[in-house]
């Protein structure tokens, strides 16, 4: 029934917009809507002509979602699954599974503006970022190593500045809610003719729905932009984040059914989460400079230099891990642009990115949250660099062609400081890999563009996989790789109040890296065959009633997204057991997200969103499933008029209105069948925002 409803909605919306375009449009009092622009492919492009599956979350879309977590906003994007096993513990996948990620983000390359948030070891501390300080998120789906280096999942670009708000302002906000939620944020932006300074500060704390799930984060973000000549810009970006959160751990089905708020319980041989005071603290400092210089009208260069330092600690059931990580590197590219002619508009980009991450990793016994006897200490130095070239051309403003390729190098050096006290590093280099991408789109009419692409994905093992919690450096672990084939279309109306984007893809992944658990619950990683990933995605937004100033309904917007994932294991063997043909663990077959935003007079607005997620296989044998669930959330806001320069908003929101019992982040292939991490039942929040 739900599938039929969504399909009918898409068809009716498409029919409505087509019919509306054929009618003579009366003059209406409406506010101006801005076209969707992306810059992920090195320069600004209207999304209609981009020959790739790209999704954009702009400032307005982020604002109506809860600003306490990335989860709700990112999960509105088809093909994206974000999980939060406990508050602050993100997992993110794009068109894939979470077999490699017991926690954290792997196999997805993340950038903070032009600076990689993903380090050379393949780890991304997305949970260190406060989404309230982010103005735009671009998601490039499918492997895209041709411009961004090794990844087989996709690319996420976080923008700290709003290109449509370049004025001077001061803003502040506060919200609180169920289970001890409190979030405070403040920002100041100073703008002159050639200079812009933006500073964001926030503090967040949350006691959590479950035992042992308290979290807090202090966050400071700086973005500084100086136009030192008419076309040349120097930007400085910086982040300080101090995040600490407890981890309640997984429950088995009997425990989850009886009391889902429990933390992991002790057994006859192992203590529980509360006894061991398990949790994670992450303190991160990140900074970088980006210079864009135009030599003339046809040649420009972008150069970014960056570095970050991370202090990480994780008291767990079986040990206490501490990491000190230092990353530094640079990214640069030159762009040559041809003369803009009616029949041909082309550009060529040539670039290079280099990163080095030095990790000092120490493991100790965990005695009720306190470091005990030293177990092992290792130094691992990881280097990743690649050169890329891209050619893009527009032919007669209809055909857009892109051809790009990168050559990637990856390797690491390691030595054991305790107990072996090694003096020299051992080197492990991987063979250089080519990652090509060929893509095109054709705009049949202004309202319709068709696209197709083929690209190669390649993902080297991360530091956390090379040196996992069994404290053994695994030099035999290989990279995973595959080819992705894709086609799709975009349909819009003349003012982009309607956009339908649909795609179908097939990704054949080889040498899949998967996590295995030992009997003592330490982990290791292996290459275990491959996967066949066939999927379909669709998204629609439609202003059924355009934003206006005088009608009772001042605006009515419909958003729909649909994800279908037919993912199967192939040649997949683990300890003499074959799982070939089974569903890919952790991936729901269907996800629907539907929302309505309604604007009323007196600046009152209502937002309602429904998410359906089908059942999820929890082990490779496909014998245990998490049941399907429906989530309903809403937000009502009021923005009274207070002078011409002051904007004030008060709001109230509710999440999980249907009081669904579900697990937002399962422990896959869990020892003792402890798969479940219960999400909160029905919960509420209220808050206010102020801008001057």
User: What one-character-per-residue DSSP string does 445-509 give?
Assistant: ETTEEEEEEEEEEEEPPPHHHHS-TT----TTPPPEEEEEEEEEEEEE-TTSSEEEEEEEEEEEE
Q: Which of 472, 477, 464, 381 is nearest to 425 (CA)?
A: 381
**Residues with Cβ within 8 Å of residue 508, at least 6 apart in sequence:** 482, 483, 530, 531, 532, 533, 570
For residue 233, the cross-strand partners are 227, 292
pLDDT given at position 5: 37
- Give the contacts of 557 (CB within 8 A, at least 6 positions apart): 541, 542, 543, 544, 596, 597
User: By the 8 A CB rule, do 492 and 499 touch?
Assistant: yes
Average per-residue pLDDT in the chain?
A: 91
Q: Which residue has the higher pLDDT, 41 or 685?
A: 685
Taking 90 as the threshold, does the pLDDT of residue 10 lie above it?
A: no
Least confident of 135-139, 340-344, 410-414, 548-552: 340-344
Q: How many CB atoms lie within 10 A of CB 505?
A: 20
What pLDDT score does 40 carry? 77
Find out whether 115 and 237 touch, Cβ atoms under 8 Å. Answer: yes
**Cβ-Cβ contacts under 8 Å for 11 (sequence gap 6 or more):** none
47 token code pair: 């999304």
Q: What percent of the chain has pLDDT over 90?
A: 77
DSSP label at 149? -
pLDDT for residue 31: 58
d(CA 548, CA 550): 6
pLDDT band, residue 14 (cuts 50/70/90): very low
Which has the higher per-residue pLDDT, 352 or 550? 352
- pLDDT exceeds cutoff 50 at 27: no
- In this model, does residue 544 exceed pLDDT 90? yes
- Give the DSSP H or E segment for 6: helix 2-21
Quote the pLDDT of residue 3.
46
Average pLDDT of the residues in 606-634: 96
The string of DSSP codes covering 298-327 is SEEEEEEEEEEEEEEEEE-SS-EEEEEEEE
For residue 33, pLDDT over 80 is answered with no
3-state secondary structure 153-217: CEEEEEECCCCCCCCCEEEEEEEEEHHHEEEEEEEEEEECCCEEEEEEEEEEEECCCCCCCCEEE
Task: Give CA–CA dist 597/497, Å, rounded.
Answer: 14
Q: What is the dihedral of CA 471, 473, 474, 478, to 10 degrees?
A: 120
Residues present in the chain in total: 692
pLDDT tier at 315 (50, 70, 90 boundaries)? Answer: very high
First to last CA, the chain: 47
> For strand 109-112 and strand 154-159, is the pairing parallel, antiparallel, or unpaired?
parallel
Mean pLDDT of 64-83: 94
In the chain, the percentage of residues whose pLDDT exceeds 70 is: 95
Q: What is the Cα 29 distance to its own chain's centre?
A: 37
Answer whether 680's CB lies under 8 Å from 655's CB.
yes
In this structure, of 268-282, 315-329, 458-472, 677-691, the range with the lowest mean pLDDT score is 458-472
Give the integer Cα–Cα distance in Å for 372 and 360.
18
Q: What is the pLDDT of residue 29?
A: 52
> Where does residue 388 rank: exposed (0-12), middle (13-18), buried (19+ CB within 10 A)?
buried
Q: In the prediction, which pLDDT does 477 show? A: 92
Provide the pLDDT for residue 32: 60
Q: Is 636 exposed, middle or buried (0-12, 13-18, 19+ CB in 10 A)?
A: middle
> How far is Cα 113 from Cα 223, in angstroms, rounded to an integer?
10
pLDDT tens by residue, 671-692: 899 999 999 999 999 999 999 9
pLDDT tens for each residue of 423-480: 999 999 999 999 999 999 999 998 999 999 999 999 999 998 999 888 889 999 999 9
List of E strands, 493-570: 498-510, 513-517, 523-527, 530-545, 555-570
Tens of pLDDT, residues 551-569: 999 999 999 999 999 999 9
pLDDT in tens, 364-408: 999 999 999 999 999 999 999 999 999 999 999 899 999 999 999
Per-residue confidence at 186, pLDDT binned at 50, 70, 90? very high
Residue 20, pLDDT > 50, answer no
Would the pLDDT of 19 be above 60?
no
By CB atoms closer than 10 A (0-12, 13-18, 19+), residue 104 is buried
Over the stretch 116-154, which tens digit does the pLDDT of each residue have? 999 999 999 999 999 999 999 999 998 887 889 888 888
Token couple for 95? 């068109």
pLDDT, position 25? 43
Each residue's pLDDT tens digit, 79-106: 999 999 889 999 999 998 787 777 778 8
């Amino acid at each position: 029934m739900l599938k039929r409803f969504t399909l009918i909605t898409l068809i009716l919306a498409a029919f409505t917009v087509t019919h509306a375009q054929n009618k003579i449009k009366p003059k209406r009092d409406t506010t101006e809507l801005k076209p969707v622009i992306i810059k992920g492919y090195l320069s600004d492009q209207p999304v209609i002509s981009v020959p790739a599956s790209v999704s954009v979350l702009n400032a307005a879309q982020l604002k109506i979602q809860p600003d306490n977590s990335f989860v709700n906003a990112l999960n509105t994007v088809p093909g994206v699954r974000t999980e939060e096993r406990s508050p602050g513990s993100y997992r993110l996948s794009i068109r894939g599974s979470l077999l490699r990620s017991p926690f954290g983000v792997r196999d997805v390359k993340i950038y903070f503006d032009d600076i990689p948030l993903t380090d050379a070891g393949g780890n991304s501390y997305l949970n260190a970022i406060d989404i309230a300080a982010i103005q735009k998120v671009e998601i490039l789906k499918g492997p895209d190593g041709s411009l961004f280096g090794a990844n087989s999942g996709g690319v996420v670009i976080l923008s700290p500045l709003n290109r449509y708000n370049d004025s001077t302002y001061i803003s502040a906000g506060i919200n609180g809610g169920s289970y001890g939620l409190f979030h405070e944020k403040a920002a100041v932006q100073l703008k002159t003719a050639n200079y812009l300074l933006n500073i964001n500060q926030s503090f967040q704390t949350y006691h959590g729905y479950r035992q042992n799930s308290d979290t807090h984060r202090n966050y400071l973000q700086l973005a500084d932009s100086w136009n030192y000549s008419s076309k040349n810009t120097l930007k400085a970006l910086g982040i300080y984040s101090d995040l600490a959160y407890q981890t309640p751990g997984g429950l088995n089905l009997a425990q989850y059914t009886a009391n889902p708020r429990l933390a992991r319980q002790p057994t006859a041989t192992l203590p529980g989460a509360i006894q061991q005071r398990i949790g994670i603290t992450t303190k991160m400092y990140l900074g970088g400079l980006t210079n864009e210089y135009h030599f003339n009208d046809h040649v420009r260069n972008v150069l970014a230099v960056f570095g970050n330092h991370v202090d990480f600690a994780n008291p767990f059931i079986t040990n206490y891990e501490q990491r000190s990580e230092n990353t530094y590197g640079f990214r640069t590219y030159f762009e040559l642009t041809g003369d803009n002619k009616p029949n041909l508009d082309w550009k060529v980009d040539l670039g290079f990115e280099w990163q080095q991450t030095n990790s000092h990793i120490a493991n100790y016994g965990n005695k009720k949250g306190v470091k005990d006897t030293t177990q092992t200490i290792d130094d691992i130095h990881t280097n990743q660099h690649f050169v890329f070239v891209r050619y893009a051309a527009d032919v007669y403003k209809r055909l857009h062609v892109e051809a790009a390729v990168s050559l990637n190098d990856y390797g690491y050096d390691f030595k054991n400081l305790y107990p072996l006290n090694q003096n020299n590093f051992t080197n492990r280099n991987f063979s250089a890999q080519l990652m090509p991408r060929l893509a095109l789109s054709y705009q049949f009419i202004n309202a319709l563009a068709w696209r197709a692409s083929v690209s190669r994905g390649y993902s080297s093992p991360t530091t956390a996989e090379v040196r996992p919690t069994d404290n053994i450096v695994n030099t035999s672990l290989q990279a995973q790789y595959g080819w992705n084939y894709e086609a799709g279309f975009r349909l819009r109306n003349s003012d982009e109040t309607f956009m339908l984007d649909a795609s179908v893809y097939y990704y054949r992944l080889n040498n899949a890296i998967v996590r295995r658990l030992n009997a003592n619950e330490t982990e290791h990683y292996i290459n275990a065959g491959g996967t066949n990933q066939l999927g379909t995605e669709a998204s629609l937004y439609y202003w059924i009633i355009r934003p206006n100033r005088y009608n009772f309904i001042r605006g009515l917007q419909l958003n729909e997204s649909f994800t279908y994932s037919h993912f199967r294991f192939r040649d997949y063997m683990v300890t003499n057991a074959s799982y070939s043909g089974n569903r890919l663990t952790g991936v729901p077959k269907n996800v629907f997200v539907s929302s309505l935003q309604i604007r009323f007079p007196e600046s009152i607005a209502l937002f309602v969103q429904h998410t359906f997620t089908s059942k999820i296989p929890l082990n490779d044998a496909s014998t245990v499933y998490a049941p399907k669930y429906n989530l309903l959330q809403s937000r009502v806001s009021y923005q009274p008029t207070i002078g011409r320069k002051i904007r004030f908003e008060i709001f109230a929101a509710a999440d999980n209105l249907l009081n669904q019992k579900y697990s937002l982040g399962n422990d896959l292939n869990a020892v003792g069948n402890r798969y479940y991490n219960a999400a909160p039942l029905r919960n509420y929040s209220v808050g206010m925002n102020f801008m001057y």
